Amino acid sequence: MSTLISEPEVDKLRRRARRSRRTEWWLAATLLAPNLLLLAIFTYRPLLDNFRLSFFNWNISSPTSTFIGFDNYVEFFTRSDTTQVLLNTLIFTVCAVAGSMVLGLLLAMLLDQKLFGRNFVRSMVFAPFVISGAAIGVAFQFVFDPNFGLVQDLLGRIGVDTPQFYQDPNWALFMVTFTFVWKNLGYSFVIYLAALQGLNKDLAEAAAVDGASSWTRFWRVTLPQLRPTTFFLSITVTLNSVQVFDIIHTMTRGGPLGNGTTTLVYQVYTETFTNYRAGYGATIATILFLILLVITVIQVRYMDRENKQK
């Protein structure tokens, strides 16, 4: 037997539902407002102010600035050193991201097994990540020193000449990239280790029973399950590597031979605080932001497409 609800009771229930939705909306707005305010003040306002400043010629020590339109952008794309800086940034970012993620995954798979002293080794792998990048850079200056460094000693024992890390731009870029990977390896390692411990072990066991080799199980079973983690790391490690400054500053100052290891972020620093051209530095920062935005959008769209195909 069904119970009929009168029209006044229906209206009462509707009003109660509307009040409940308004209460939830105001509660959400109250909780989100402080975070949104902080984001607006410390993130979006500086971003917009940087974009505005890119259209001005401003000596950072001067109280006045001159509007010059797109001249800074024209200068960036026509300067002779722009290609080298962009190439440095690309090589450093690709090698740093690939090195950190591949080595992090390999170490995570190794230390996910039951090995003696694995907790101690895990701590040692992660420890460099929490150390200051400037301190790491100073330490690795001595590691790569061509006269009395650790690399020189090891290569000398096997009769190999030490590369000129501080004179050859290619070796200098390798040096700072290696240092960055060594410092940030622990981040990828920890994320991958947590992901591996949350995988469905039954799939790998079923594949092993069916006679799949270790490589097949990794490629067909483990790696697909790690796709969300890999996607997350590809974004965070890319953003982190593109913005590296401390290691380059302490080890090479952007050299040798002018721009041997200068990346876009380091060029922002040199133009703003060394050459006192804050407007041009803001232009480079804006271009870097747009590059990162495009990369992130592409990555997100690719991941969304992959999820829809499942």
Query: What residue has token string 């590809």?
Result: 234
Residue of 307 and 88 predicted with greater confidence: 88
- Domain ranges (residues) in the chain: 7-53, 82-261
What is the average per-residue pLDDT within 110-129? 89
pLDDT in tens, 62-86: 888 899 999 999 999 999 999 999 9
Please give the average per-residue pLDDT across 257-266, as a whole number: 91
What are the residues whose beta carbons fall under 8 Å from the beta carbon of 84, sequence distance 6 or more?
259, 262
Confidence of residue 5 (pLDDT cuts 50, 70, 90): low
pLDDT at 13 (0 to 100): 73
Q: What angle do CA 18, 19, 20 make, to 5 degrees?
A: 90
Mean pLDDT of 171-199: 94
Band of residue 252 on the pLDDT scale cut at 50, 70, 90: very high
Classify residue 157 as exposed, middle or buried by CB count within 10 Å of its CB (0-12, 13-18, 19+). Answer: exposed
pLDDT of 245 above 80: yes
pLDDT tens-digit map of 7-19: 777 777 778 878 8
> How far, rounded to the nearest angstrom, does the alpha carbon of residue 279 sit from its chain's CA centroid?
25
User: What is residue 128's predicted lDDT score, i.e. its pLDDT?
Assistant: 93
Instruction: State the pLDDT at residue 241.
Output: 93
Tell which residue, 221, 223, 229, 219, has the closest CA to residue 205: 221
Residue 173, pLDDT > 90, answer yes
pLDDT digits (tens, 9 = 90+) for 14-40: 788 788 888 888 888 888 899 999 999
Q: What is the pLDDT of residue 309?
A: 65
Q: 82-261 has which CATH code?
A: 1.10.3720.10
| CA 24/CA 21 separation, integer angstroms | 5
- Interacting residues of 109 by C-beta distance below 8 A, sequence separation 6+: 192, 196, 218
Higher pLDDT, 276 or 13: 276
Q: Measured between alpha carbons, how far is 76 from 83 in angstroms, rounded to an integer?
A: 10
Compute the distance between CA of residue 59 and CA of residue 304 in angstroms, rounded to an integer: 44
pLDDT, tens digit (0-9, with 9 covering 90-100), for 228-240: 899 889 989 998 9
Q: Which residues have a Cβ under 8 Å from the Cβ of 266 and sit 6 or more positions away? A: 245, 248, 249, 254
Per-residue pLDDT, 1:
45
What are the helix (H) ranges across 198-273? 201-209, 214-217, 223-225, 227-242, 246-251, 264-269
Average pLDDT over residues 143-171: 90
| 267 has a pLDDT exceeding 80 | yes
